[in-house]
Amino acid sequence: MKTVKEVSFVLIGFLLLLIAEGCSGKEDSVSSATWESTAETATVVEAVTVNSGKLYGTVSTSGRIRGIYEALIVSEASGIVQSFDVVPGQRVEKGDRIAGLDETISLLNAEQAKSAWENTRLDLDVVSSLQEKGNASRTELLRARTAESGARAAWEQAVKNLRDRTITSPLDGIVAWTDPDSSVGNYLTPGTAVARVVDTSAFFIYADLGERQTSLVGPGAVVQIYPGNLPGEGIPGRVSAVASGIRNSTGGYQAVITFNVPDGLSLKSGMAVRVDIEANLEEIQLLIPASAVMQSSSEAYVYVAENGRAVRRKVTPGEALGDFIAISGGLKIGDEVIISGIRRIADGSPVQVTTVNLASRASFGG
């Protein structure tokens, strides 16, 4: 016969078994309700549509306005300045007097040279007559001719020296500046610059290009010119020539820009300008934001949005400029390249795409 103590142990064990089974059943029911989720969350991203265009589009540089013709007028003779006949801003014509030097000595030299030449001419006439009659040898005739030729050259040089005492303008234009040290009473030496005359009937610009820019710009390129003293819209012009060699004074390659001056616009030689030049030699390429290009150890790639998924696409990047890069392989016009959230997606990830249009200096659609 069982004791009361044994019965108590049996009942307690039975109750513990029931509690354990009840707990196990509750856990299974919860697990079956939360065991698996089939919904995928799409990553919100932005994308741009691949288009073609020019990476540079335009080339910016600077230069200075110059008259179509400009002449630095120098003294070819030495002497004291007797007169200085122009001031800056004065209009002159070709041959007009700029300055005059003392002519006293030059006049005497010219008169003496003329007299000496006339004497040799008379001697030559006499010897020629005698030689025709057989009374003078050919050697004597040759000597007379040589003397006459030398005297004539000396007279012509004396006349030139006298003429050089008067400094004149070689062209029609406006006096841009004069040398204050060439005023009356000062002594000039040959080669001294006394004035500059500028033909302002037309203007052009010398602008320097860098090595890379010379491969982008050629004759015929459209230009917008922005003088520093004239804010607002640019003046249209064109590139007429690009140098084939470097200019030592600046280290650049010279581009010559021609333009017509609008009526009422005040431009002067020497004014500094900024110019934007069309990159007319640049090739059309596929362009995307440089930030979209990822780099692994073996390749460059981007993510393209296709049918709500991010698809990894190998690409061949080219030259980059600013925020944009040229792509020479792996993409086509119309592809949507993902540009945001790239670190949160992988190949095949679901994406929710917003297409954006980025404004930049890249010239799309060219």
Whether 77 and 194 have beta carbons less than 8 Å apart is answered as no
pLDDT of residue 18: 47
**Which amino acid belongs to residue 8?**
S
The residue to which tokens 């050697």 are assigned: 139
pLDDT of residue 231: 67
132 or 81, which is more confident? Answer: 81
- Look at residue 12 and tell me whether its pLDDT is greater than 70: no
The residue to which tokens 């616009």 are assigned: 265
**Which amino acid belongs to residue 91?**
R
Instruction: For the chain, give the percent of residues with pLDDT over 70.
Output: 86
Taking residues 23-35, report their average pLDDT. Answer: 42
Whether 76 and 200 have beta carbons less than 8 Å apart is answered as no
pLDDT of residue 362: 53
Alpha-carbon distances, residue 51 vs 294, 331, 338, 360 (angstroms): 19, 10, 14, 13
Across-strand partners of 66?
Answer: 204
DSSP code, position 182: G
Q: Which two tokens stand for residue 86?
A: 């122009």
pLDDT of residue 341: 92
Whether 336 and 358 have beta carbons less than 8 Å apart is answered as no
Lowest-confidence range among 16-25, 68-77, 293-302? 16-25
**CA 139 and chain centroid, separation:** 68
Three-state SS at 179 = coil
Whether 219 and 240 have beta carbons less than 8 Å apart is answered as yes
Rounded CA separation 319/301 (Å): 15
Rounded CA separation 53/360 (Å): 12
pLDDT of residue 248: 81
Taking residues 202-222, report their average pLDDT. Answer: 92
**Which amino acid belongs to residue 242?**
V
On average, the pLDDT of the chain sits at: 86
pLDDT of residue 71: 95
The torsion angles phi and psi of 103, rounded to 5 degrees, stand at -110, 0
Three-state SS at 310 = strand
Rounded CA separation 310/318 (Å): 23
- Look at residue 25 and tell me whether its pLDDT is greater than 70: no
pLDDT of residue 260: 86
Give per-residue pLDDT as tens, 227-286: 876 767 789 999 999 998 988 877 889 999 999 887 777 788 888 999 999 999 999 999
Beta strand 173-178 with 91-92 is: antiparallel
Alpha-carbon distances, residue 327 vs 228, 234, 292, 345 (angstroms): 38, 33, 11, 22
DSSP code, position 279: -
pLDDT of residue 23: 47
Q: At what angle do helices 104-132 and 138-163 cross, to 10 degrees?
A: 160
364 or 339, which is more confident? Answer: 339
pLDDT of residue 229: 66
Beta strand 351-355 with 43-49 is: parallel
Give per-residue pLDDT as tens, 121-160: 999 999 999 988 888 888 998 999 999 999 999 999 999 9
pLDDT of residue 234: 86
Q: Which two tokens stand for residue 176?
A: 């841009």
Query: Using H for helix, E for strand and C for coil, what is the string for 77-104?
Result: CCEEEEEECCCCCCEECCCCEEEEECCH
Across-strand partners of 235?
Answer: 225
pLDDT of residue 363: 55
Give per-residue pLDDT as tens, 167-199: 999 999 999 999 999 999 999 999 999 999 999
Rounded CA separation 207/209 (Å): 7
What DSSP line would sit under 106-175, residue for residue? HHHHHHHHHHHHHHHHHHHHHHHHHHHTTSS-HHHHHHHHHHHHHHHHHHHHHHHHHHTTEEE-SSSEEE
Cα atoms in the 13 Å half-sphere on the side-chain side of 121: 9
